[in-house]
């Protein structure tokens, strides 16, 4: 951006920060709902299904809760046990479906963020359309000028997404889009591999009923699935993918601030936060 140094930094906050804050908040809120559902499922198993062995205190506590439940249902013990067993069985499948949809959601939010960002960049500075990476895109002028002002930028962004980076997939495609608007950069290999897996699993969930296909097995060989295997996702998997998506979002935000000429002190703060997300520690939610 040729005039970035002359633009007030408030524009960065007003036009871009909300995109990142909103996306991050949506991901965390969705994750929280999954973790609560998973906790509820584990609690059911803990109280009614799990054999506590020699842990007398836990067994006693579980028995007390069972007795209260039986009493609540007029001491219909067999009925309660049967229903709880059915709930536990159903919840196993239910949680698999929830976590699978969670991965679909993570990828959709990440992809949409990149699209929102490029839309905001073009609205912010039309010079982006003159970049060499975008000059080859043919704009159907008759259709373009027939659109309202609000529709024109969205139309241009759709053209960009439809006409560049065709030979890329997953995170490589997102990086290609970012590179086209001057936001290229490196990314932690561990998190990159996670996002590769996220995209491939998402494709199997959406297009192949959660069955591993040859493309997934080839591109995610470290996961040791065979073609035809049923893909499973648990709480730990989701947390890992969620953390990697949040790390990538922070990486993009860092690149954006860098390209806009944000002050060194602010960049140092962003770098520290990014380093924390990249580190091999518990999810930021648990810190």
Per-residue pLDDT of 112-132, as tens digits, reads 999 999 988 888 877 778 888
Q: Within the chain, what is the greatest distance between any pair of CA atoms?
A: 78
- Is the pLDDT confidence value at 51 over 90? no
Q: Which residue has the higher pLDDT, 89 or 247?
A: 247
Contact (CB, 8 A) for 231 and 251: no
- Calculate mean pLDDT across residues 37-41: 82
Cβ atoms 165, 149 nearer than 8 A: no
Quick one: average pLDDT of 4-24? 69
183-229, pLDDT tens digit by residue? 999 999 999 999 999 999 999 999 999 999 999 999 999 999 999 99
Task: Give the alpha-carbon dihedral of 222, 228, 229, 234, to 10 degrees.
Answer: 80
**Least confident interval from 67-76, 109-118, 155-164:** 67-76
- Where in the chain are the domains? 8-281
Residue 116 to residues 105, 111, 126, 147, 150, Cα–Cα distance (Å): 16, 9, 15, 19, 14
Above 70 in pLDDT, residue 29?
Answer: yes
pLDDT for 287 beyond 50: no
Q: How far is CA 24 from CA 103, 220, 229, 243, 246, in A?
A: 15, 26, 32, 11, 7
Please state the pTM of the whole predicted model: 0.80
3-state secondary structure of 210: coil
State the sign of the Cα–Cα–Cα–Cα dihedral 161, 162, 168, 171: positive
């Amino acid at each position: 951006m040729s005039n970035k140094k002359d633009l007030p930094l408030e524009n960065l906050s007003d036009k871009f920060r909300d995109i990142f804050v909103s996306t991050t908040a949506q991901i965390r809120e969705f994750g929280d709902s999954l973790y609560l559902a998973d906790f509820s499922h584990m609690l059911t198993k803990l109280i009614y299904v799990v054999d506590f062995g020699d842990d007398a205190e836990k067994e006693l506590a579980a028995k007390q809760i069972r007795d209260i439940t039986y009493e609540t249902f007029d001491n219909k013990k067999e009925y309660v046990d049967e229903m709880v067993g059915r709930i536990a069985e159903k919840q196993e499948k239910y949680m698999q479906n929830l976590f699978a949809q969670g991965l679909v959601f993570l990828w959709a939010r990440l992809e949409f963020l990149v699209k929102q960002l490029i839309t905001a960049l073009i609205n912010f500075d039309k010079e982006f359309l003159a970049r060499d990476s975008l000059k080859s895109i043919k704009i159907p002028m008759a259709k373009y000028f027939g659109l309202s002002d609000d529709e024109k930028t969205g139309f241009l962004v759709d053209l960009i997404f439809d006409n560049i980076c065709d030979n890329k997939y997953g995170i490589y495609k997102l990086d290609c889009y970012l590179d086209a608007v001057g936001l290229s950069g490196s990314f932690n290999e561990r998190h990159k591999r996670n996002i590769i897996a996220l995209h491939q699993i998402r494709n199997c969930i959406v297009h192949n009923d959660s069955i591993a296909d040859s493309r997934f097995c080839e591109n995610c060989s470290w996961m040791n699935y065979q073609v035809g295997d049923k893909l499973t996702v648990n709480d730990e998997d989701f947390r890992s993918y969620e953390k990697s998506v949040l790390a990538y979002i922070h990486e993009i935000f860092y690149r954006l601030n860098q390209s806009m000429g944000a002050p060194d002190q602010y960049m140092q703060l962003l770098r520290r936060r990014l380093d924390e997300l990249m580190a091999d520690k518990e999810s930021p939610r648990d810190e």
